[in-house]
Amino acid sequence: MAQPLIGVSVPRKEGWDKVTGKARYVDDLHFDGMIHGATVRSSAPRGRIKAVRFDPRISWDEFTIVQASDIPGANHVALIIDDQPCLADSVVNHPEEPVLLLAHPDRYLLEEARRAITIEIEPLPAVFSIEESLRADTIVWGGDNVFKRFRVEKGNVDTVWDRADLIVEGEYFTGAQEQLYIEPNGMIAVASLEDGVTVWGSMQCPYYVHKALKGVFGLPDEKVRVIQAETGGGFGGKEDYPSMIAAHAALLAWKSGRPVKIIYDRAEDMVATTKRHPSRTRHRTAVSRDGKLLALEIDFVIDGGAYATLSSVVLSRGTIHAAGPYECANVRITSRAVATNTPPHGAFRGFGAPQSIFALERHLDKVAAAVGLAPEELRRRNFIRRGQTTATGQVIRENVDMAALLDRALRESDYHTKKERFARENPGRRVKRGLGLASFFHGAGFTGSGERYLASVVGVEATAKGRVRILTSSTEIGQGTNTILTQIAAETLGVPYEWVEIAQPDTSRVPNSGPTVASRTCMVVGKLVESAAFGLKQVLAGAGLLPSVYSADQFVQACGAYVGQHGRLCASSQYQAPPGVYWDDERYQGDAYGTFAWAAYVAEVSVNTLTCEVRVESFVAVQEVGRVIHPVLATGQIEGGVAQAIGYALYENVVWNEGRMANAQMTNYIIPTAADTPPIRVIFEERPYAYGPMGAKGIGELPMDGPAPAIVNAIEDATGISLDSLPATPESLLAALVEVHA
């Protein structure tokens, strides 16, 4: 058998192309006769389109122009419910909503032309905040501005309030966050009556784009082809909006008869595409004098923007994570996703969980203070253990040990020693230091029955020479899909890593393995790769060509013999839920996820009380994500997620002006740089998960959940200032300091 590959940091599969500039992203592709496309957008947040005026100084006959009436199929971007138009027809519901498309061979003339079009809009009343939307004075979506509601009940909180020793209340807010992948969105399309529509682009979910294009053109499956180009980051931001851009490029290609490329510049990408949902969470907690959580009442609201898009599922994940990895007999979580007249908010790493976990982990520090316990001690007394149930009644079957993760994080961060030292040194110092922690979990894979509905498929095929190819629509967006899926297939087949390749995601050649989201690629799709590879072995063994123990050379001989006799050698695998997993969609009860990743994070900060600058000085991230397939990639996932969450906590402030992002540029939307990111220590406790490939679970979103509350808890530890909104900017800290000293 070949050398073991699991737990080994093999070179990234497509890495050499990336480090030498050879990797081809969508803007690096060129087609003969290709022209450029642009989008003309609404300036108003909400209103009726009265007229579209074309400046007569432009030679419009040189341009391809597409409007809603040109759409051959249905005018919507198919997703969950089909309320979002591909091009606004008579009304607009948010600033920067696409109204008209233009194409021209010259990018510069195209930009001039775009500016020479005026869309006259008769304004309608609009709403811009969760509070306004809930007030429902102005209805901007459906009958009541509410896209989706959930209610989770465990025990009965109402029986607890009277007998509780203490009741602690709090209200928490989080702002929007821009994914800010460094490669902006882009698509190239070709289209014709005979061949249908083909697009190449930057995306996470080729089959989402496929579904949307079928609807917009009214074409059958085989007439739509979607191919993922190398993709320069996604983080959720390339989950749903690429369907819109693909449809736009394809409509222009359809009308012009030429290949059309649409590449968003940074400003357009930031102002028009999705962001993390802003949120408001209210907590009411009953606790006993010795720190046992008796009742958790949580109301969670997210701002979905103007159309439903993914808000119902973001809300679902945020709701289920809102009570965290704690055992409490009585829990009520109510939640709503509401409409406002901003561009729709969408997927962003964590998908609702960072919002509700920020609220919970901030709130627990307040509960601890009220009871008179240290933050770590309060959590220790309430951690969920094997055999206990989550808020949705899910029985924890794995041998989770949150207390051990927390203890490890405290030890690695030298928590107690530093805490004492800071308490001694801080008084009288301008720069104060503090430590904060957060303990949390993140469910891997789609929520509830989601994976059953997806019913994902993966194929594995081999040539006569024993070279193996994985067929999956899971995309490499930087997180390491190509590498880990290759490791899993090679390990299962007992062949060298180099013998396995992964097919370019192309809907005409790979099966639908579901979207590349929800920390599902390693655990769910990886498991399918493992079982498809195992199936391939079975095919060879069943044909009497492969002994149970074999060398790589014997595998090659077996493949050669099989292909010689039968032609194609391939096997596929379709998702099946692990045994004993049940979910009740009506009552929102049961096994919300097959499993969870578990974590305890500690942040150390310094706060300059003169300048209000907060720096994260060091960070310790301890987590249990099952078996680690690739230590360097897994570490990189955690470090990258922590850095993004540091941005979420401290810097990343979307400034809104009547529903439009006012700071849509990197100059004043600030993400962490090499100078800002602290040393991040990443520690994995490995407990193999029985139903993951080689024991692995999901990992990608987990590190987004914990850092923000840990950092804001540390700010309070350093200064005594309690900040309950994200981002915790110097301005908000200054306002709080002024209030304290007033």
Partner 1 sequence: MPKVPITLTLNGERRTLSVWPMARLLDVIRQDLGLTGTKEGCSEGECGACAILLNGQLTNSCLMPALEGDGARITTIEGVAADGRFGHVCQAFLECGGAQCGICTPGMIMATVSLLAENGHPSEAEIRTALAGNLCRCTGYMRIFEAVASAGRGTLAGERGR
**Which residues of this protein are in contact with partner 1, per CB under 8 A?**
7-12, 14-25, 27-28, 179-184, 230-235, 265-267, 477-480, 631-633, 635-636, 639-644, 665-667, 671-675, 677, 679-680
Residue 516 C-beta: closest distance to partner 1, Å:
12
To partner 1, the closest distance from the beta carbon of 35 in angstroms equals: 14
Q: Would you say 314 or 680 has its CB closer to partner 1?
A: 680
476-495: b (≥16 Cβ within 10 Å) or e: bbbbbbbbbbbbbbbbbbbb
Beta carbon nearer to partner 1, 44 or 671? 671
Q: What are phi and psi of 52, to 5 degrees?
A: -120, 120
Taking the least distance from each CB to partner 1, the nearer of 9 and 288 is: 9
Strands (E), 357-450: 431-443
Tell which residue, 391, 411, 451, has the closest CA to residue 588.
391
Using the minimum distance from each CB to partner 1, give the nearer residue, 17 or 122.
Answer: 17
Question: Measured from the CB atom, is 85 or 234 closer to partner 1?
Answer: 234
Q: Nearer to partner 1 by C-beta: 23 or 134?
A: 23
Angle CA(435)–CA(438)–CA(442) in degrees, nearest 5?
155
CA dihedral sign of residues 493, 494, 500, 505 = positive
DSSP assignment letter at 57: T
- Give bridge partners of residue 442 from the DSSP assignment: 597
- Shortest distance, CB of residue 707 to partner 1, whole angstroms? 10
The rounded distance, in Å, linking the Cα atoms of 525 and 479 is: 14
**Considering the complex, what minimum distance in angstroms separates the CB of residue 183 from partner 1?**
4
Sign of the Cα torsion 15, 21, 26, 31 reads negative
Q: Among residues 106 and 420, whose Cβ is nearest to partner 1?
A: 106
Q: Judging by beta carbons within 10 Å of its beta carbon (0-12, 13-18, 19+), is residue 731 exposed, middle or buried?
A: exposed
Q: How far is the CB of 15 from partner 1 (least distance, A)?
A: 4
**Does residue 479 sit in helix, strand or coil?**
coil
Please report how close the Cβ of residue 61 comes to partner 1 at its closest, in angstroms: 24
In angstroms, what is the minimal distance from the CB of 588 to partner 1?
34
Instruction: Tell me which H or E stretch contains 286.
Output: strand 279-287
- Counting Cβ atoms within 10 Å, is residue 4 exposed (0-12), middle (13-18) or buried (19+)? exposed
Nearest to partner 1 of 594, 703 (CB atom): 703
Cα 689 from Cα 468, distance rounded (Å): 26
Query: In Å, how far from its chain's centre is CA 278?
Result: 14
Output 19 or 395, the one with its CB closest to partner 1.
19
Token pair belonging to 630: 């690739």
Residues 178-211, buried b or exposed e (16+ Cβ, 10 A)? Answer: bbbbebbbbbbbbbeeeebbbbbbbbbbbbbbbb
Distance CA 186, CA 198 (A): 14
Q: Closer CB to partner 1, residue 396 or residue 645?
A: 645
Q: How many CB atoms lie within 10 A of CB 501?
A: 14
Under DSSP, the state recorded for 607 is E
Secondary structure of the chain: what % helix, strand, coil (to 5)?
A: 35, 25, 40
Residues 314 and 177 sit within 8 Å (Cβ to Cβ): no
**If DSSP codes are grouped into helix, strand and coil, which group holds residue 80?**
coil
* CB of residue 230 to partner 1, shortest distance in Å: 7
Look at the alpha carbons of 145, 170, 720, 406 in this order and tell me if their dihedral is positive or negative.
Answer: negative
* CB of 224 or CB of 704, closer to partner 1: 704
By C-beta, is 184 or 659 nearer to partner 1? 184
Dist. CA 218–CA 197, nearest whole Å: 11
Q: How far is the CB of 308 from partner 1 (least distance, A)?
A: 27
Nearer to partner 1, 674 or 738 (CB): 674
Please, what is the minimum distance in Å from the beta carbon of residue 676 to partner 1? 9
